[in-house]
Amino acid sequence: MDILAFGQKGLGSVYHNPETAMATWHAMDTFRQKGGRALMTLAGTDMKCAGAPLKMTFMLADRIRQAGTASASQIDFFAAKTAIFSVKPVADKVLELWQSLEVAPKVHYQRELIGVDMDKQTAIFRQPETGEQFSEDYDFIHIVPPMFATDVIFNNSELANEKGWLNVNAETLQHTKYPNIFGLGDINGTPRGKTAATVKKSTPVVVHNLIRVMNGQTPDMVFDGYTSCPMLVREGEAMLVEFNGKGELTTTLPLVDPLQPSYFAWYLEDVMLKPAYMTVLRGRA
């Protein structure tokens, strides 16, 4: 799909780059002024920041509320698999919160996006098990692309696992076939953890274990698969969701309930973490 198309005729996606994210905001802003039908999608592959499509759904519903066009609006969420998030307590809480919104998203499971006709503003979905296809009209659509490791890993080497990610041991982050290779970041084929928080927490593990291998020793430091996902719920409110590789909820801040929306979590995401995000966007971290 031509990235220049984002922002036009209700087409949006926040994943490609800052420019398409801004174009998506303009498309969403146009949509909320009059309402209509919005389609929010979730890819069937492992994802970088799997919470982003959920955040987008929350924020769209909040923008509609602010614009006063809830009675003229409908939100449909299409998940390619049988869940909207891999950590069940988080998925259950999001679904509960969605139902409390003025425009409550209707969730459709096992609906994988396979095509978009921009001229007709129609999206094509497929049922993964049967191959049956469905056509859905929209006024706004947010696309989440299928995700894999970089091409040098995915297509041109023996380094990838069956899902297309770097085949590493989830605890030591050492490649399962080539002991001199370690993985760091969202390229790793670990059960969870394709976020900046995972990179920060796993970096010392990789450095320690790599040095040991270089010195003829075996890796002995274990990564617990930590991931953090500040889940925006509305403007001024968020949940600070943290969990490990087993999908168990954890918390690094005292007195913070990871499933309780709060202004503090919003402030942490919108103000305190924003400089770090901008640094990453500029390639300086």
Determine the pLDDT at residue 152: 81
Determine the pLDDT at residue 1: 58
Only one residue has tokens 């593990």, namely 205
What CATH number corresponds to the domain at position 117? 3.50.50.60
Same structural domain, 101 and 164: no
Indicate if the pLDDT at residue 168 is higher than 80.
yes
List strands edge to edge, sheet with 112-117: 112-117, 122-126, 133-137
Q: How far apart are CA 128 and CA 108, in angstroms?
A: 13
Q: Give the pLDDT confidence of 67-76 residue by residue, as tens digits.
A: 999 999 999 9
Same structural domain, 156 and 139: no
Same structural domain, 33 and 78: yes
The candidate with the shortest Cα–Cα distance to 174, out of 213, 226, 200, 148, is 213
Indicate if the pLDDT at residue 215 is higher than 90.
yes
Same structural domain, 90 and 56: yes
Catalytic residues: 49, 229
Last-in-domain residue among 214, 240, 257: 214
Last-in-domain residue among 112, 147, 182: 147
Determine the pLDDT at residue 48: 84
Residue 67 lies in a domain: yes
Structure token digits, residue 20 = 């398409």
User: Buried b / exposed e across 198-235, counting CB within 10 Å, b at 16+?
Assistant: bbebbeebbeebbebbeeeeebeeebbbbbbbbbbbbe
Same structural domain, 119 and 197: no
Same structural domain, 89 and 66: yes
What is the rounded average pLDDT of the residues 66-90? 95
Enclosing domain of residue 45: 3-147
Q: How far apart are CA 227 and CA 47, in angstroms?
A: 13
Indicate if the pLDDT at residue 173 is higher than 90.
yes
Q: How far apart are CA 157 and CA 213, in angstroms?
A: 22
243 or 270, greater pLDDT: 243
What is the rounded average pLDDT of the residues 149-171? 87
Pairing of strands 11-12, 106-108: unpaired
Determine the pLDDT at residue 200: 85
Same structural domain, 37 and 131: yes
Q: Structural domain tally of the chain?
A: 2
The candidate with the shortest Cα–Cα distance to 158, out of 171, 167, 170, 149, is 167
Q: Give the pLDDT confidence of 104-141 residue by residue, as tens digits.
A: 999 999 999 999 999 999 999 999 999 999 999 999 99
Same structural domain, 99 and 169: no
Determine the pLDDT at residue 196: 81
- Do residues 12 and 27 touch, judged by C-beta distance below 8 A? yes
Determine the pLDDT at residue 183: 93
Same structural domain, 120 and 143: yes
Same structural domain, 95 and 196: no
**For residue 7, which amino acid is it?**
G
- Give percent above pLDDT 90 in the chain: 64
| Position 270 confidence tier, pLDDT thresholds 50, 70, 90 | confident
What separation in angstroms does the CA of 46 have from each of 85, 146, 249, 278?
11, 8, 19, 24
Q: How far apart are CA 52 and CA 207, in angstroms?
A: 29
First to last CA, the chain: 29
Determine the pLDDT at residue 64: 97
DSSP string, 189-227: --SS--SHHHHHHHHHHHHHHHHHHHTT----------E
Ranking 51-65, 128-142, 242-256 by mean pLDDT, the lowest is 242-256
271 or 31, greater pLDDT: 31
| Position 83 confidence tier, pLDDT thresholds 50, 70, 90 | very high
Only one residue has tokens 């801004």, namely 22
Pairing of strands 140-142, 11-12: parallel
Indicate if the pLDDT at residue 279 is higher than 80.
no
Last-in-domain residue among 97, 113, 147: 147
Determine the pLDDT at residue 219: 96
